[in-house]
Amino acid sequence: MEIFSYLSQTLPSEEGKRKALYGLACSRLAMAKDKSSLQEAIVLWEQWQGRLGEELGNEDPRMLTEVIKKMVNWAPSGEFKAKRPSASSISTSKPASPKEEEMRQKDEEIRIRDEEIERLREQLEALENIHRDIERKKKGASSP
């Protein structure tokens, strides 16, 4: 992650600096372990967003910005439950080829998305239960 920080300050082009800041923000968001580190990552995200010009092109934060800001409230205990591989589970025998590294990254992205989907399903189920309880109470209050 430090490479993104370095590049976001030292690259000669503004586009390169902006893209490096985006990489830094994304990596910090992905590695956030608690609300504090998530909030710091959101600050980086907002700095990156502030550097965008009129032409968004491939960089369009509009769909994700609100979701990212709301993520702080999704972990009531203050800690995120995303499982991260331990250092011992990562193979260090030989360096991965670029294709293997890309596949590993895609697998990790899929795993993270699957965990997010499961968490959202649990939240939806909880909301549905609350809604059913409210409806039952309304029915009970309106019955003679």
- Determine which helix (DSSP H) or strand (DSSP E) holds 135, and give its type and residue range: helix 98-142
Handedness of CA 137, 123, 125, 83 (dihedral sign): negative
Q: Dump pLDDT digits (tens) for 49-78.
A: 888 776 666 666 766 776 776 666 665 555
Among candidate residues 144, 143, 83, the one with its CA nearest the CA of residue 114: 83
Residue count of the chain, please give it. Answer: 144
pLDDT band at residue 42 using 50, 70 and 90 as cut-offs: confident
For the beta carbon of residue 115, count every other beta carbon within 10 angstroms. 14
Q: Where are the domains of the chain?
A: 1-81, 91-144
Tokens of 137: 């109470």
